[in-house]
């Protein structure tokens, strides 16, 4: 006899039959469960059909259900064209192995989700990059895989375009640095060869007038000679700042040796060098980049470190060229690279990146800053940047050689 819901508000008057175990036979119970399972499957597929992402159900690698988003992803007219097809047939040959391994993992795990990156090939030949998440589902008769396909093509294209833009910017930066260094080289040579020689000639002519009997002229000549000496010193400094001529003439070790002596004198600090005795097999591009890194590091020491002792090491070890600069100053953290105004550290980082290397920022054993630049030797260009072979360089630094010799008479 139909009863009424006794304690469910809003359902009064709706017939309800008490499913007492004694009133339901075993066949009826089996039929009820089967109907419930069918209803559950229909509800699940309806939910999948309304989902905004591509979903399919696979049995033994064959598609038994595909929602409308999956149909659109596969580039076919309707789901009928997909039912019964192997899921692997929709993928690129390079993706089949990853997809097959993912399905094996998903079938073997009752919990968890297996994820793989594959590519789907459409009938028109175009490919879509997708990420698949698969999980096992078991009914009374079959083991199914419920697979979700997320189209990542747009994101992948954006990543590729972003990486391409980064590479172009890096090449542009490298070209700009090379052009700037070449312009510096040219101006430094002109200062050395043209202006320096003219100043030297002027000084020699003034010197020849010195024995004049008129004291007023002698004082004027002495003042002019002092002015010429100051101008020669300024030309030396400008030419050296633009381009260390010693780097071209004597090599990287000699240039770093001279730079360290000048910095020690100017900063009133002690600088220790540990350089390779043999000439390093690097070309002009790498040599000037390493020199500039040392120069910028010493500038940072002078401005911020308050150090009294600096160590500079340049060594070839295990296929890498290792440049390490450390001091006993106040130190800084790795975040200092990206702090506003930290152009020196960014310059070192960019120059290392141009040579395929890396920069590590840390603390020295004495508590100060430690910069370590690692440059793979197989990535360092061995030419001079102009197609010519590297210049012959001396193995050891030569203290007597000094680029300030500009303006000295032969």
The share of the chain scoring above pLDDT 70, in percent, equals 75
Asked whether the predicted pLDDT for residue 335 surpasses 90, the reply is: no
Name the more confident of 176 and 61: 61
How far, in Å, CA of 142 to CA of 144, rounded? Answer: 6
How far, in Å, CA of 147 to CA of 64, rounded? Answer: 12
Q: Which pLDDT does position 389 carry in this prediction?
A: 35
Based on the domain organization, do 92 and 60 belong to the same domain?
yes
Asked whether the predicted pLDDT for residue 379 surpasses 50, the reply is: yes
- Which of 322, 316, 317 is CA-nearest to residue 358? 322
Residues 6+ apart with CB under 8 A from 165: none
4 found inside a domain = no
Name the more confident of 35 and 324: 324
The answer to which of 119-123, 130-134, 162-166, 213-217 has the lowest mean pLDDT is 213-217
Based on the domain organization, do 143 and 78 belong to the same domain?
yes
For residue range 82-96, list pLDDT tens digits in order. Answer: 989 999 999 988 888
Q: Which pLDDT does position 410 carry in this prediction?
A: 35
Asked whether the predicted pLDDT for residue 354 surpasses 50, the reply is: yes
- Which of 241, 368, 271, 256 is CA-nearest to residue 321? 256
Q: Which pLDDT does position 207 carry in this prediction?
A: 72
7 found inside a domain = no
State the pLDDT confidence band at 393, using cuts at 50, 70 and 90. Answer: very low
Based on the domain organization, do 385 and 254 belong to the same domain?
yes
71 found inside a domain = yes
375 found inside a domain = yes
Based on the domain organization, do 100 and 228 belong to the same domain?
no
Task: State the residue for tokens 């072979």.
Answer: 389
When the pLDDT of each residue in the chain is averaged and rounded to a whole number, the result is 77
Based on the domain organization, do 118 and 177 belong to the same domain?
no
Based on the domain organization, do 184 and 223 belong to the same domain?
yes
State the pLDDT confidence band at 392, using cuts at 50, 70 and 90. Answer: very low
Domain termination site, one of 106, 121, 151: 151
Based on the domain organization, do 275 and 365 belong to the same domain?
yes
Based on the domain organization, do 87 and 213 belong to the same domain?
no
Based on the domain organization, do 272 and 237 belong to the same domain?
no
410 found inside a domain = no
Domain termination site, one of 201, 228, 243: 243
SS3 assignment, position 213: coil
Domain termination site, one of 224, 243, 262: 243
177 found inside a domain = yes
- CATH for 134: 3.30.450.20
12 found inside a domain = no
Based on the domain organization, do 163 and 143 belong to the same domain?
no
- Residue 111: CB atoms within 10 Å: 6
Residue 369: domain span: 250-400
State the pLDDT confidence band at 30, using cuts at 50, 70 and 90. Answer: low
Based on the domain organization, do 299 and 383 belong to the same domain?
yes
What is the number of domains present in the chain?
3
DSSP code of residue 396: S
Based on the domain organization, do 370 and 255 belong to the same domain?
yes
Name the more confident of 185 and 119: 119
How far, in Å, CA of 39 to CA of 41, rounded? Answer: 5
- CATH for 344: 3.30.565.10
Residues found in the chain: 410
Asked whether the predicted pLDDT for residue 313 surpasses 90, the reply is: yes
19 found inside a domain = no
């Amino acid at each position: 006899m139909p009863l009424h819901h006794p304690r469910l508000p809003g359902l009064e008057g709706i017939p309800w039959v008490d499913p007492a175990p004694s009133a339901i036979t075993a066949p009826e119970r089996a039929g009820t469960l089967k109907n419930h399972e069918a209803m559950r499957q229909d509800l699940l597929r309806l939910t999948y059909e309304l989902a905004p992402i591509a979903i399919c159900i696979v049995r033994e690698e064959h598609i038994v259900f595909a929602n409308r988003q999956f149909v659109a992803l596969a580039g076919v007219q309707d789901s009928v064209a997909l039912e019964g097809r192997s899921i692997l047939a929709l993928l690129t040959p390079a993706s089949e192995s990853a997809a097959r391994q993912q399905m094996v993992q998903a079938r073997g795990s009752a919990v968890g989700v297996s994820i793989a990156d594959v590519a789907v090939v459409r009938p028109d030949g175009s490919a879509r990059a997708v990420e698949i998440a698969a999980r096992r589902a078991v009914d009374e008769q079959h083991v199914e895989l419920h697979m979700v396909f997320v189209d990542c093509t747009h994101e992948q294209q954006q990543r590729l375009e972003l990486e391409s833009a980064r590479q172009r910017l890096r090449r542009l930066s490298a070209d700009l640095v090379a052009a700037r260094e070449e312009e510096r080289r040219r101006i430094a040579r002109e200062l050395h060869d043209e202006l320096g020689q003219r100043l030297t000639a002027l000084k020699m002519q003034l010197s020849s007038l010195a024995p004049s009997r008129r004291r007023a002229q002698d004082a004027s000549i002495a003042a002019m000679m002092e002015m010429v000496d100051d101008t020669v010193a300024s030309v030396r400094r400008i030419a050296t700042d633009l381009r260390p001529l010693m780097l071209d003439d004597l090599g990287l070790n000699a240039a770093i040796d001279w730079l360290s002596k000048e910095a020690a004198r100017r900063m009133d600090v002690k600088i220790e060098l540990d350089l390779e005795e043999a000439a390093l097999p690097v070309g002009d591009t790498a040599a000037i980049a390493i020199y500039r890194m040392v120069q910028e590091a010493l500038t940072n020491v002078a401005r911020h470190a308050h150090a009294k002792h600096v160590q500079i090491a340049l060594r070839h070890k295990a296929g890498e060229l290792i440049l390490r600069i450390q001091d006993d100053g106040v130190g800084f953290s790795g975040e200092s690279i990206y702090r506003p105004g930290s152009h020196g550290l960014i310059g070192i980082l960019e120059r290392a990146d141009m040579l395929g290397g890396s920069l590590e920022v840390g603390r020295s054993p004495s508590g100060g800053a430690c910069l370590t630049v690692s440059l793979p030797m197989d990535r360092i260009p061995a030419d001079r940047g102009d197609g010519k072979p590297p210049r012959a360089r001396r193995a050891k630094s030569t203290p007597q050689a000094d680029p300030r010799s500009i303006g000295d008479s032969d």
